[in-house]
Amino acid sequence: MKTWIRWAALSGVPTLSLRMLARHGEPLAQLLTDPDARENPYPFGARIRAEGRIVRTPYILASADHEVCRNILRDRNFGTTPPEAIDLPAPLKRLIRATDLRLASPVEPPSMLMVDPPEHTRYRKLVAGAFTPRAVGRLRDRVREVTEELLDGLAGRENADLISDFALLLPIAVISEILGIPAAKRDDMLEYGNAGSPLLDITISWPQFKSAVAALRDSQDFLVGHIARIRRTPGDDILSDLATGGELTDRELLATATLIAGAGFETTVNLLGNGIMLLRDHPDQLAALRAEPARWPGAIEEMLRYDSPVQMTTRTALRDSEIAGERIRAGETVALLLGSANRDPAAFLDPDTFDITRSNARDHLSFGSGVHSCLGASLARIEGAIALQALYDRYPDLRHTGPATRRGLVNLRGYQHIPVTTGAARHAALG
């Protein structure tokens, strides 16, 4: 009952009112609830931008303006939006406060994603060292090895699924190794991630919420045992360092592990899937990459820009301020439409064109910006470039055999299935 009440307050009631507003043409409500927006959110984002740099809706502010989104992400007058800070009517807020499920969730404090400095600074400092470009550079060979093993498994496959047979398996293998999680546990981790991902959508349904909470409980039970094990016999991994360092409480440690585990693969899988589909739809760009492989890192930036794996985030004003001429009162929340901001013509020339040679693609907001900017950005970039280049090198005759299907989520944008036949393998090109 407590879980249902929490869902009703956080999602059920807000979704009903969003649907009503969407019927009256309110563009953010349409972006969040219209099935067409799940296929293609960008025309909805463009409509919001056309209404203003920052738009006031009946329940929240919203922006699809690149400069406004970036500035708010970097502005210390704005903080994160944990469930209790969402700008909802007071009775709903009281229900949310009264129904804390005390579960380690990536989208609730003390997850570092949902706390402000100084707590945030403390958490982030403890893990940042493991994810610097230099530290991640040392993982490059391991990412290559895992990629080549996965590609071996695709040889001669007439009906492979590039999501479940490839794009999901690389990041889960890498993040599990970083966290010292045994290989035998990966399938369970994938299930937790799949069930937990809709938690990032305000419109999450009751069955989705129920299974997300069950998945968080299972993942928490596993992580509690895992942490106890590594405390007894620490390994050479970041979680062992954190578990034995004594600087985090058990709850903080669990929240950190849950966030890194989930963020480590539920986003990168979307970069790989979205990238594969973009190259299918733009064979000239794939040909350009084949002719000039040095362009792969730039192509990854353009994939991130053009079809962002994370579509939005929110920030809540800590004090009264003014942004782009709009007065924002303390406590008001702004939806920052990162994916649509990446299509802002004021920031990117001809933004709806996918162009791997675009010189400023890296200015995208797909990894956020400011103090919460993605901790795993270097890792995701390396995984993206190595995995996609190796896939097309190894299987030059790769053919798509049916329609790819989207995951159907609002915020985490990616594919569920990409059916292909791989064709003959070319010799593995390590290097």
Q: Which residues bind ligand HEM (CB under 6 A)?
A: 112-113, 124, 131, 175, 259-260, 263-264, 267-268, 271, 309-310, 313, 366-368, 372, 374-376, 379-380
Please, which residue, 8 or 28, has the CB nearer to ligand HEM?
28
The answer to whether 115 and 123 have CB atoms below 8 angstroms apart is yes
Tokens (6 digits) for 347:
């920031």
Residue from 17, 12, 45 nearest 31 by CA: 45
Q: Give me the helices (H) in 99-153, please.
A: 119-128, 133-137, 140-152
**Minimum separation from the CB atom of position 370 to ligand HEM (A):** 7
Minimum Å distance from CB 85 to ligand HEM?
13
CA 310, 365, 26, 60 dihedral sign is positive
In sequence order, the 6+-apart residues with CB closer than 8 A to the CB of 424 are: 156, 395, 397
Comparing CB distances to ligand HEM, the nearer of 125 and 319 is 125
CB of 67 vs ligand HEM, minimal distance in Å:
17
Closer CB to ligand HEM, 22 or 126, in the complex: 126
DSSP sequence for 362-426: GG--TT--GGGS-TTHHHHHHHHHHHHHHHHHH-TT-EE-S--EE---SSB--EEE-EEE--SPP
Helix (H, G, I), strand (E, B) or coil at 40: coil
Q: What is the 3-state secondary structure (H, E, C) of 337-353?
A: CHHHHCCCCCCCCCCCC
Taking the C-alpha atoms of residue 275 and residue 307, their distance in angstroms, rounded to an integer, is 8
**From the CB of 421, what's the least distance to ligand HEM, in Å?**
27
What's the closest the beta carbon of residue 426 comes to ligand HEM, in angstroms?
Answer: 27
Instruction: Pick between residue 96 and residue 336 the one whose CB is nearest to ligand HEM.
Output: 336
- Nearest approach, Cβ of residue 387 and ligand HEM (Å): 11
Contacts of 192 (CB under 8 A, 6+ apart): 215, 216, 218, 219, 261, 262
| Rounded distance between C-alpha atoms, residue 303 and residue 293, angstroms | 15
CB of 192 to ligand HEM, least distance (A): 15
Say which residue the tokens 């349904």 belong to.
Answer: 205
Nearer to ligand HEM, 38 or 381 (CB): 381
Least Å distance, CB 206 to ligand HEM, is 25
CA contacts within 13 A on the Cβ side of 172: 24
Q: Which is nearer to ligand HEM, 337 or 374 (CB)?
A: 374
Residue whose CB is nearest to ligand HEM in the complex, by number: 376
d(CA 117, CA 319): 15
Least separation in angstroms between CB 371 and ligand HEM: 6
Beta strands in 164-204 (DSSP E): none
Alpha helices in 52-118 (DSSP H): 66-74, 90-98
First to last CA, the chain: 55
Q: How far is the CB of 24 from ligand HEM (least distance, A)?
A: 29
Strand partners, 310: 412
Three-state SS at 52: coil
Nearer to ligand HEM, 55 or 375 (CB): 375
Contact predicate 407/416, CB 8 Å = yes
- Residue 263 or 328: the one with the smaller Cβ distance to ligand HEM is 263
With respect to ligand HEM, which residue has the nearer C-beta, 136 or 227? 136
Q: Are 64 and 344 in contact (CB under 8 A)?
A: yes
Phi–psi pair at 405, nearest 5 degrees: -120, 140
CB of 309 to ligand HEM, least distance (A): 4
Tokens coding 170: 């690389």
Closer residue to ligand HEM in complex, CB, 99/240: 240
What is the CB neighbour count within 10 angstroms for residue 52? 17
